[in-house]
């Protein structure tokens, strides 16, 4: 059995452009991988099989598909036609906007390629827009649908508090809501969202307060329109010392940037037990595990 892992992510910056001909949106993302990882083990089997375990609630674990729609299984099938058995250890909140499913797929690709002795696979984006970054890790700018990656130097550590919400949000619904809100307000998005050069400079100099000041997410307004109560989570995190707090990706997880580990722990303590998780970034790329 071959075991691999891959990191979750948050988007420090996420600008959404217009809908493309393929149905996706043109985006500009600044990804931060986290020291919060998904683990996937794979081996050949008589029949396809997926076992789910991990640190999440039983309800979350049971919500992960164990059929051919599972992203890890799709990744395995992209490498080999032979039946595979997967053991997936989930640590990233499900449907939380942190690409836990994409991390599963990235880890599955690394493990299955090793198992099948395949040395190259260049079509990860066909499985999901966040999968190339889950493979790459670190900090990166993502263009296109997020798959055209340029690594960004970040010589520091960013402490992050992840505040979960038991009610998931559909990524497609959040994008559709953003499109609807823009149409109602006659807002035309940039045809090619601009790269946030000042944010990149702040990252390269490890200026955490400036990184927090310039962080933004175009999907946040749509997520808050669908779930207005998320604003209370944002406000509470800031009240307890967060430099900023915002929706992670399409949500509903909120991530707060803290100035230190001690500050992050204080922010997390403001929420009910089990709702807030302290982590940091950047995390390592997808890799094999012993």
Determine the angle formed by the axes of helices 71-79 and 100-116, rounding to 10 degrees.
30
Structure tokens given for 195: 């790269």
Q: Which residues of the chain have pLDDT under 70?
A: none
Give the end of a domain, one of 131, 152, 173: 152
Residue 266 a catalytic site member: no
Is 12 found in the same domain as 122? yes
Catalytic residue selected from 74, 104, 130, 218:
130
Is 133 found in the same domain as 163? no
Q: What is the CA radius of gyration of the chain?
A: 18
Give the end of a domain, one of 135, 152, 169: 152
Task: Quote the CA–CA distance of 285 and 143 in Å, as a whole number.
Answer: 19
Catalytic residue selected from 3, 9, 74, 90:
9
Please give the C-alpha separations between residue 220 and each of 224, 231, 277, in angstroms, as whole numbers: 6, 10, 20
Q: Tell whether 246 is covered by a domain.
A: yes
Q: Tell whether 227 is covered by a domain.
A: yes
As for how many domains the chain has, the answer is 2
Residues 6+ apart with CB under 8 A from 101: 71, 94, 128
Q: Tell whether 290 is covered by a domain.
A: no
**pLDDT value of position 141:** 97
Is 121 found in the same domain as 28? yes
Query: Quick check: bond before 282 cis, omega within 30?
Result: yes
DSSP single-letter state for residue 123: -
Task: Quote the CA–CA distance of 225 and 174 in Å, as a whole number.
Answer: 9
Beta carbons of 264 and 255 less than 8 angstroms apart: no
Give the end of a domain, one of 152, 173, 205: 152
Is 274 found in the same domain as 192? yes
Is 164 found in the same domain as 147? no
pLDDT in tens, 149-207: 999 999 999 999 999 888 878 889 999 999 999 999 998 887 889 999 999 999 999 99
Identify the domain containing residue 179 by its residue range. 158-281
Residue 90 a catalytic site member: no
């Amino acid at each position: 059995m071959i075991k691999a892992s891959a990191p979750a992510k948050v988007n420090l910056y996420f600008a959404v452009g217009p809908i493309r001909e393929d149905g996706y949106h043109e985006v500009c993302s600044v990804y931060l991988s986290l020291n919060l990882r998904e683990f996937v083990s794979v081996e050949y089997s008589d029949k396809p099989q997926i076992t789910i375990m991990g640190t999440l609630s039983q309800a979350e674990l049971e919500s992960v598909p164990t059929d051919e729609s599972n992203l890890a299984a799709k990744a395995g099938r992209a490498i080999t036609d032979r039946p595979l058995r997967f053991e997936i250890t989930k640590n990233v909140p499900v449907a939380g906007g942190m690409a836990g499913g994409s991390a599963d797929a990235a880890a599955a690709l690394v493990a299955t390629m090793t198992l099948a002795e395949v040395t190259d696979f260049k079509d990860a984006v066909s499985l999901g827009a966040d999968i190339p970054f889950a493979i790459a890790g670190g900090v990166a700018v993502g263009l296109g649908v997020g798959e055209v990656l340029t690594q960004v130097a970040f010589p520091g550590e960013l402490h992050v508090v992840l505040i979960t919400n038991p009610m998931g949000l559909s990524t497609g619904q959040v994008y559709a809501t953003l499109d609807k809100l823009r149409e109602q307000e006659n807002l035309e998005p940039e045809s090619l969202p601009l790269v946030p050069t000042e944010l990149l400079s702040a990252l390269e100099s490890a200026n955490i307060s400036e990184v927090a000041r310039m962080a933004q997410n175009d999907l946040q307004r749509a997520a808050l329109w669908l779930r207005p109560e998320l604003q209370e989570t944002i406000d509470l995190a800031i009240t307890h010392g967060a430099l900023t707090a915002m929706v992670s990706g399409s949500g509903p997880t909120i991530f707060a940037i803290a100035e230190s580990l001690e500050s992050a722990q204080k922010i997390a303590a403001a929420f009910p037990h089990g709702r807030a998780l302290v982590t940091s970034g950047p995390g390592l790329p997808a890799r094999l595990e012993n």
